[in-house]
Amino acid sequence: MPTLNLPNNNGGLVPFTTSTPRDFPTRANRPFNRIAYSAAHVVADPRAEADPWVDAAIDWDATIQYRLGLYDLGLGVAEAMDTAQRGMGLDWAASQELIRRSLSAAKDIPGARIACGAGTDHLEPSPDLSLDDVIRAYEEQVEFVEGQGGRIILMASRALAACAKSPDDYAKVYGRILGQVREPVLIHWLGEMFDPALAGYWGHGDHMAAMDVCLDMLAGNAAKIDGIKISLLDKDKEIAMRRRLPDGVRMYTGDDFNYAELIAGDEIGYSDALLGIFDAIAPAASAALDAFAAGDTAKFHDILAPTVPLSRHIFKAPTRFYKTGVVFMAWLNGHQDHFVMVGGQQSARSLSHLAELFRLADAAGLLRDPDMAASRMATVLAMHGVES
């Protein structure tokens, strides 16, 4: 197995020898007993004549091909979410094209599960906006997704967070939008650790007080809601909310720190999944969910346990830079032929961070071709002046 000299947090170099990867299947063997969406990343086009910090140049073929692999693994696709750099390099115009192409590709996949983000990211946040401005922005994006035949994930709104004066303003906006949708939607409560502009969402800085507002909104619109994804990286808050959900409303975990135990659940309930980390660990996620559906809970935890340290590392603060780790994993595993990101965000994490990610991915058995992964890691080391 290949050996590299990898940097540690002290600036030194330590030899690291890769191990044999785990033999995860490339296709799901049976239906899962949990709904599982992977929030999928986009593949940038490094050859495009574009300014990476300004223009969202996408390799559409590679982007769609990656989604087809997720479907093979039995995972659904949560499209045009923050993992795809939505609002963080991917603008609404590019998001529309992504949604259009992804929905078109899904039509040819029997049983493909896909839902698409609709938000207000084409509206510049400002305290001077009116609630009607926010409602019109939501309506525009919802209309587009539904016009393409897509299911809605109603994303959190920076514009609403900027202009709302009280919790009642959130209830008004969500009530207006949910009163118009064609079929039940997923609500996404994205915490400020993922997007600082969303601090104080639902009208409260305290998450438990915000939860009360959100739950009242869910109860008042339950017929139009399939479920809610919360991304607060706090399992106790998720469980507390899960136990208070209206009948028929699902909890979709967005907790990239504690997903294994939240999906497994307890004697009272469980969470389905809509996770960014499922992009990076898709083969392991699929194998674990397959084992769980077969009644082998021990194997489920055996597969997922070593992925949790990897996920916690990828999503460490500043959490909004987790997308760099997700794309790095895709490149290490040959799902794309470069480590370039929309907005130039491949530079958002340090060399030592990427080196630790490499070690943890190896420990989880997720470097499917260690020789290729080591060669690509060596390229990154060389770019940083480190001889491997």
Chunked mean pLDDT (size 10), the chain, 388 residues: 91 93 94 98 94 89 98 98 95 97 96 97 98 98 98 98 98 98 98 97 98 98 98 98 98 98 97 98 98 98 98 98 98 97 95 97 98 98 90
Biggest CA-to-CA distance, the chain: 60
Cβ atoms of 352 and 8 within 8 Å: the answer is yes
Q: Is 280 within a domain? A: yes
In this prediction the pTM is 0.96
Count of CA atoms in the C-beta half-sphere (13 A) of 264: 20
Q: Is 186 within a domain? A: yes
Where on the phi/psi map is residue 344: left (φ > 0), alpha (ψ -120 to 50), or beta?
Answer: left
Q: Is 102 within a domain? A: yes
Cβ atoms of 326 and 280 within 8 Å: the answer is yes
Q: CATH no. for residue 205?
A: 3.20.20.70
Q: What is the pLDDT of residue 388?
A: 73
Q: Is 362 within a domain? A: no
Distance of CA 386 to the CA centre of its chain: 32
The Cα 201–Cα 79 span in angstroms is: 22
Residue 93's φ and ψ, nearest 5 degrees, are: -60, -45
Domain that holds residue 52: 22-305
Give the closest residue to 45 by CA, choosing from 87, 1, 89, 80.
89
Q: What is the pLDDT of residue 141?
A: 98
Q: Is 175 within a domain? A: yes
Q: Is 276 within a domain? A: yes
Q: Is 380 within a domain? A: no
Q: What is the pLDDT of residue 302?
A: 98
Q: Is 75 within a domain? A: yes
Q: What is the pLDDT of residue 71?
A: 98
Q: What is the pLDDT of residue 50?
A: 85
Q: What is the pLDDT of residue 121?
A: 97
Cβ atoms of 272 and 252 within 8 Å: the answer is yes
* Strand pairing report for 3-7 and 13-17: antiparallel
The Cα 272–Cα 259 span in angstroms is: 9
The Cα 30–Cα 33 span in angstroms is: 9
Give the closest residue to 260 by CA, choosing from 294, 298, 222.
298
What distances in angstroms separate CA 8 from CA 166, 270, 356, 377, 378, one per listed residue? Answer: 47, 38, 8, 14, 15
The Cα 272–Cα 265 span in angstroms is: 9
Number of domains in the chain: 1
